[in-house]
Amino acid sequence: MQRRHALLTFAGGLAVLAGCAESKPQFKAVDITGADYAKDFALPDTDGKVRSLKDFAGKAVVVFFGYTQCPDVCPTTLGEIAAAKKLLGADGAKVQGVLITVDPERDTPQILKAYVGNFGTDFVALRGSPEQTAQVAKDFKVYYKKAEGKTPGSYLMDHSAASYIYDPQGRLRLYSRYGSGPQALADDLKLLLA
């Protein structure tokens, strides 16, 4: 009887301690807080100004690698970011969508600006040189490769299809898989903005 009482007391103490511990947010995306990659970028925007995470301090930032002639993944992802911002209401203004092109050969600043403008006037597109693009992709562990088409210049770009999400302090927090949907993204962004 004494042993049972001691076990119950011990179990009760553990329950109290567990209740005191700070609970981790339950994200829908993969929590990669503390990852040692994808720490930052330094690439020109469509106006030629070099941008980095510090330019978006105080906002949750969603970074996606893609290109303007992408037939499906890129417009779907950018559309989900735009829809998530709407779902957040006034807090949507505290979310920054960033597209980093993996096709600087065709994605001129003018084309990029018009493209991201379709998803929101506050979206930012970044375009580095081929060397800068390769370095940033390596830093983010992003895969991309040209897939030749039937005619010269009619290629596609195979590329990773996930987004990286940073909290308002500029810390990498989440890896959001392609096709998670705007509601899941909005729920995660709401937790990061709280």
- CATH at residue 97: 3.40.30.10
Statement: residue 5 has pLDDT above 80: no
Q: Is the pLDDT of residue 18 over 60?
A: no
Q: In this prediction, what percent of the chain has a pLDDT beyond 70?
A: 88
Residue 150 lies in a domain: yes
- Could you give the CA distance from residue 117 to residue 95 in angstroms, rounded to a whole number? 15
Cβ proximity of 144 and 69 under 8 Å: no
Stretch 171-191: mean pLDDT, rounded?
96
pLDDT band at 1 (very low <50, low <70, confident <90, very high): low
In a domain, 9, yes or no: no
Domain housing 41: 23-193
> How is residue 37 annotated by DSSP?
S
- The number of distinct structural domains making up the chain is 1
Establish if 32 belongs to a structural domain. yes
Q: Rounded to an integer, what is the distance from CA 183 to the centroid of its chain?
A: 15
Can you say whether the dihedral through the CA atoms of 137, 182, 78, 58 is positive or negative?
negative
Q: Which helix (H) or strand (E) holds 158?
A: strand 156-159
Q: Is the pLDDT of residue 105 over 80?
A: yes
pLDDT in tens, 51-86: 999 999 999 999 999 999 999 999 999 999 999 999
Q: Output the average pLDDT for the chain.
A: 90
- CA-to-CA dists, residue 72 to 79, 89, 108, angstroms: 11, 26, 20
CA-to-CA dists, residue 66 to 171, 182, 183, angstroms: 22, 18, 22
Is residue 91 in a domain? yes
Mean pLDDT of 129-134: 97
Indicate if the pLDDT at residue 4 is higher than 80. no
- Residue 94 inside a domain? The answer is yes
What is the structure's pLDDT at 154? 84
pLDDT computed for residue 152 by the predictor: 76
Separation CA 32–CA 27 (nearest Å): 11
1 part of a folded domain: no
